[in-house]
Amino acid sequence: MDSMDLTGKVAIVTGGSQGIGKAIALALAGAGADIAIISRLPETVDMGTERMHLPADPVIGEIGERGRKAVGILADVREPEQVRAMVGQVKDEFGHVDILVNNAGATWGETFRMGQLLEMGAQDFRECLRLNLESFFHVSSAVAPLMLEQGSGAILNMASGSGQGASPGNGLYGAAKAGVISLTLTMAQEWAPAIRVNAIAPGTIAHADRAAVHPYAPPGSRGATAIPLGRTGDAVDIAGAALYLVSDAASYTTGTVIDINGGRR
């Protein structure tokens, strides 16, 4: 059997209706997995800027065309009660959970901004952490007991190059993603050998679902001139590594962070 064959596996992908999450969901479905797409509705702008929130139905349709089953579930991964209800719904629908991809996150949103540290306030920091770090804990903690009970599972956390060093102009997100990396390493230690836990740290990724104009990025900040491979990444560049890490091809890989950044340092 192909070590990257996911036939019979069930995967939860948070933020799976668009961007990197969508690409990962389609890649896992293409390898044979059934998919639960987790997304949420837009919220009222409090402090930040409205983001794009795409519905799950188009992705569910594409997964169906690949011959796999998919469900879309509305849940706010920042809210533990909604997370527990979502995981219960997935278990009721499919009977088990084999793969979790913690992908939902953002550098800015309706409730927090992106910018220099002295321009940020307590709400910016709190809300950035809720979305980009606390949610990973909530979802993983709800799924891990199921995986431990069945004796197997794979969790993939979406980190970022911003969490691997200084991140001027994006320091709150960088701090949150540094936390994701640390949390990944601890999960891998505490939940072994039943559950493998790894992370991907993307560099600059451009995709069709990204806002046409980033409201906070300074001009030229997303250019490819500083990237040795000469281009920004694409969501499918992340999806290939994701498929590897959650498959049996990576059966001896846990507590690892894979950089996908075109060689940028």
Active site residues: 173
Check: CB of residue 232 under 8 Å from CB of residue 204: yes
User: How far is residue 142's CA from residue 129's CA, in Å, rounded to a whole number?
Assistant: 19
Check: CB of residue 104 under 8 Å from CB of residue 79: no
User: How far is residue 186's CA from residue 17's CA, in Å, rounded to a whole number?
Assistant: 28
If we measure between CA atoms, which residue out of 10, 7, 9, 14 comes closest to residue 157? 14
- How does DSSP assign 76-107, residue by residue? -TT-HHHHHHHHHHHHHHHS---EEEE----S
Whole-angstrom Cα Rg for the chain: 17
Q: How far is CA 113 from CA 42, 109, 248, in A?
A: 16, 7, 39
